[in-house]
Each structure stands twice: as structure tokens, then as C-alpha cells.
Structure 1
Amino acid sequence: MEYGFGNSSFADCGKNDPNVSEEMEKSFTDLLAEELKLQELVASENKRHADAALLEAKKVSSQYQKEADKCNAGMETCEGAREKAEAALIAERKLSALWEMRARERGWNGSETTNR
């Protein structure tokens, strides 16, 4: 059953009419422009989210760096205290060895113990 279209297809409808063709092209151009605007908005929003995430990451990184700096300072303090304690122990051992040597020179043999 034919509906008066003859051999032309629906896609060819209005192709020969300059007013319809111009309107279709204008409509297509408007749609493309609108699509571009929407893509710009989406890209802008994505950039805003990325910028916010980057800022947050920088803040967190800064906090971790401050904590790491505090930790390193604490480690340096502890290491300094350990080195001082080690030096004091070495000095104390030398002094104890000197006193033991003097005691042995005066006859102490180390076998006597005192029970009090």
C-alpha cells in the first residue's frame, strides 16, 4: 500500500525545499552549539571537582609532612639522648674499671661478698 510517497524515502523529505533545508541545518547547528555548551559545562564542573580534590590532597599532604617532621625531630632527640647515655655508660665503665684496678692493687680479689 502506497501513501503517496512514490519512490522517495522519508529522509529525502524536504530536501528540495530550500526553506526546510535551511531550517533543518539551523536546527542541527543549534543542537551542536547546545551540545558543545553542555560539554563545556561538564568539563568545567569536572575541573572544579578535580581542583577541589587536588586542594584537599595538598592539605592532607601538608598535615602528613608536618607530622613526619615532628616524628623526625623526636627521633633526632631520642638518638641524641641515646648517644649521650651511651657515652655516659662508657665513661662509667672506664671509671669502674679504674676503681677495680686500684682495689686489686690494694689486695682486693673480688671473691669477698658482703651480706647485709
Structure 2
Amino acid sequence: MPAKCNDCSSSDPEIKEEMEKDRLALLSEEIVLQKLVANESLQRSKSLLTESGIVYTHYKREAEKCIAQVETCEDARERAEAELREELKVTALWEQRAREFGWSDSGKKRVQ
């Protein structure tokens, strides 16, 4: 049985050179793969960013519509309150005049 050589490549320059080539090829391949992974990750990030921008724009438009509708509703409520106040004033005035002419809440007419 031949003796085992622990470091055969160190004595043979051709083997050593071939081992270096394999190591460089592996490192080069690793760098290429890392670039591919990084580019794919970057592309996914860009795609997600674009999609999130579209979703943001959609929800922003919806929020603006909602705000406009709330403002319209609030304006209508304020107008309705003002009209109600005016109507209550007119009603109070007519009630006062009616009382002056003998009308009462009990349904009985006052005689003067």
C-alpha cells in the first residue's frame, strides 16, 4: 500500500495551479450568483415599491373623495341647523301672535 501524502498538491505545481483555478472558478461563480440574487431582490423591491405607490395613490384619491363628501355633509348640516333656527323663530313669533289673539296650548280659546 502506498504511503498517504497529506499535502500532495504542494509538491506538484500543476496540481496546485489546477486547485487554484478551481478555487477561483468557485469564487467567481459565487460572485455571479450573489449578483443574480441581489438583482432579483432589487427587482422585487422595485416592483413592490411601484405597486405600493399605485395603492397609495388609489387610497389617497379615495380619502380625498371621502373628505370632500364629509365637508359637503357638514355644510348641509350647518345649513339645516340655520334653517331650523329660523323656523323656530318664525314659529315662536306666530305662537306669540296666536296667544295675543286668545289661543292656548290646552286647545281652549281664551275669551277677552
**TM over 0.5, yes or no?**
yes
1:105 aligns to 2:100 (yes or no) = yes
Q: Which runs of 4+ in 1 moved over 4 A?
A: none
Alpha-carbon RMSD across the aligned residues, in angstroms, is: 1.4
Q: 1: distance between equivalents of 2:9 and 2:82?
A: 100
User: Take 2:10 and 2:35, find their aligned partners in 1: how far apart are those partners?
Assistant: 33
Q: Which residues of structure 1 form unaligned runs of 5+?
A: none
1:39-87: CA deviation from partner (whole Å, max 9, x where unpaired): 1011101110111011111101110111111011001001100110011
**Aligned-pair CA distance for 1:112:** 2.1
Amino acid at match of 1:104: R
Aligned residue for 1:20?
15
Match of 1:41 among 36, 41, 52: 36
In the alignment, which of 21, 24, 29 is matched to residue 29 of structure 1?
Answer: 24
Quick one: distance in 2 between partners of 1:56 and 1:90? 51
With normalisation by structure 2, the TM-score equals 0.89
Map of 2:2 onto structure 1: 4
Between 1 and 2, higher relative CO (CA 8 Å, sep ≥ 6) is seen in 2
TM-score normalised by structure 1 residue count: 0.86
Give 1:13 shift.
2.3
How many equivalent residue pairs?
108
Question: Residue in 2 aligned with 1:65?
Answer: 60
5+ residue gaps, structure 2:
none
Distance in 1, matches of 2:8 and 2:45, equals 47
